[in-house]
Structure 1
């Protein structure tokens, strides 16, 4: 892999972060693990959690529209991105939520508004169930952890073939993952895709373990009746978790509302950042 290509990716990320008024920071927990996170803006703390196989930068585009009103904090989960990747750690959503609690305490954040996409939504709901007094609101974006709803292409393909469409062992498979999660993928230079693919490929063994642990955990009984105000956002064209899943979560959380976005896939905050920020601000204004 070319050093120049890696440098170009780093430069692009740096520019996007600056535009969003986000700064890259690190914190080492008393337990020894190091989190790398983005932090910026002023106002109530909005803690955002990325999904499986993703990184903190999945939220940079929408963060650019939120840092004027909120302090936005976006960590890489342990096991992903630049954060530590302890080989034999417990990566279940409960374990990740407990680590996140230590992260929040280390930064002195106190009570937060909490958002998450996909696996990040799974962890966010778990965090809210474990620490309900420390979550002011939830923003669930195509969240995982709800398995009683309709099956999507991900589960159907996995059962039929044994292949997980969210992991990549080759650069071609990474390109397929990108097309699978984004309804209308933007054109990305091959050199950039190559750098991103190599990072995923290198993390493949750990990703397989994390996927298995997340898939074995259901959040439904954990959050049933949880009264925290919740905005549920879903892409109409989500091939990972179909939009019917939003109805299941809505039934579980009595103080929730649902927004379904047409022509959007599994990553609304990346595919439609303006609409997502607008809907989130409107939701917060109603609280």
Structure 2
């Protein structure tokens, strides 16, 4: 009887906790996504911090486990991305370098200002200000890595603020007129090929950016519906940014300015990238003859998540064996 009473009590407690969790999620559905992002951040050995810079509240992940004179790596995510995209790579680099991984102004957990410009040029100036405030330290090199849209932003920072950036890595970077593909054609037509409106378009989005099925994130219920709701709310903002970086007069500015980059550089692409066609690699390389070119096979647009070990090796080579300035 005592055992039965204990079992009943345990079941009641579990039911109460489950009900409490359901009420919590109902009141704040995004708690599910935040909890998962926290789990991923802690798994990568990163802490979370925030700072007010350039009129925005920036939320960023950071690891200070490295030696006091180790280089500082600043990692800038791409369009519709967030700091979490860098965590698989961060796991492989923490302890060796200081890592600083922000949500760009306007994206993720960082703040957004109504009516502000979030195109390449405006964001590059904000990132430069962020580097000054958080990453630039005497006696330490600053290495700037950018993925996709973030690669275009990183190219502008390296070109226009060379005193802030000692080495630069562009991963699957936007900002040049690459060979036509479906993604580029949809952008030029004024559409957002990354738009998410329901579970089907969410799956299309994941299938577009990932080639390696094993690396593709699995988003179970109820997180799938919560993610769809978030991306639906973001639709107007995403379209405004895409119009700016994909169809305005500054859409090829990163590639043009890349000719002014003198720092040791890494250009890394995946052969199966269906977003920024690999032809962009040679277009950037023509303007950056000092850059090391790396073309990975068996991955798509998300090289940093699909092949983080290979990307980590390329980043280490950039830092440890890059040409002196």
| TM-score, length of structure 1 as denominator length | 0.92
**Which whole-Å CA distance do the structure 1 matches of 2:142 and 2:265 have between them?**
13
CA distance in 1, matches of 2:79, 2:300: 15
> Which among 156, 159, 171 is matched to residue 129 of structure 1?
159
Q: Is the 8 A contact 2:159 2:260 kept in 1?
A: no
Task: Give the SS at the match of 2:114.
Answer: coil
Contact 1:232 1:259 in 2 (8 A): yes
- Return the alpha-carbon distance in structure 2 between the equivalents of residues 175 and 190 of structure 1: 14
Query: CA separation in 2, counterparts of 1:133 and 1:36?
Result: 24
Q: How many residues align?
A: 284
Aligned match for 1:45, one of 52, 72, 82: 72
Distance in 1, matches of 2:98 and 2:131, equals 13
Residue 205 (structure 1) aligns with: 236
- Which consecutive unaligned segments of at least 5 residues does structure 1 have? none
Question: By how many angstroms is 1:108 displaced?
Answer: 5.4
CA–CA separation in structure 1 for the residues paired with 2:55 and 2:173? 29
1:115–1:139 Cα contact (<8 Å) kept: yes
In 1, Cα distance between the equivalents of 2:243 and 2:220? 32
CA root-mean-square deviation: 2.0
Q: Measure how far apart 1:168 and its partner are.
A: 2.1
**Matching residue of 1:113:** 143
Separation in structure 1 between the aligned mates of residue 116 and residue 186 of structure 2, nearest angstrom: 28
Deviation at 1:193, TM superposition (A): 2.5
1:53–1:167 Cα contact (<8 Å) kept: no
Q: Distance in 1 between matches of 2:317 and 2:118?
A: 34
Structure 1: how far apart are the matches of 2:228 and 2:170? Answer: 27
In structure 2, the residue corresponding to 1:199 is in which secondary structure? helix
Alignment of 1:71-90 (within 5 A): 71-90=98-117
Q: What is the CA-CA distance between 1:158 and the residue it aligns to?
A: 4.0
| Of 190, 212, 220, the match for 1:189 | 220
Displacement of 1:186 in angstroms is 4.2
Paired position in structure 1 for 2:130: 103
What's the CA shift for 1:258? 1.1
Equivalent residue of 1:86, what SS?
A: coil
Q: Deviations over 1:30-60 (max 9, x none)?
A: x532111111132211000000011110001
Q: C-alpha offsets along residues 63-114 of structure 1, whole Å, 9 cap, x if unaligned?
A: 0111111111111111210111112001121110111122222225246200
Gaps of 5+ in 2: 1-21
Q: Which residue of 2 aligns with 1:3?
A: 25
Query: Following superposition, which runs of at least 4 residues in structure 1 exceed 4 angstroms of deviation?
Result: none
CA shift for structure 1 position 166: 1.6
Residue 247 of structure 1 corresponds to 282
Say which is worse superposed, 2-11 or 240-249, in terms of deviation: 2-11
- Alpha-carbon contact 1:87-1:206 (below 8 Å) kept: no
Aligned residue number for residue 28 of structure 1: 52
Match of 1:172 among 200, 205, 211: 200
Preserved contact between residue 152 and residue 255 of structure 2 (Cα < 8 Å): no
Structure 1: distance between partners of 2:132 and 2:90 = 22
Match of 2:121 among 89, 94, 111: 94
Cα deviation for residue 192 of structure 1 reads 2.4
Where 1:65 maps in the other structure, the secondary structure is helix
* TM-score under structure 2 length normalisation: 0.82
Range 47-56 or range 254-263, more displaced: 254-263
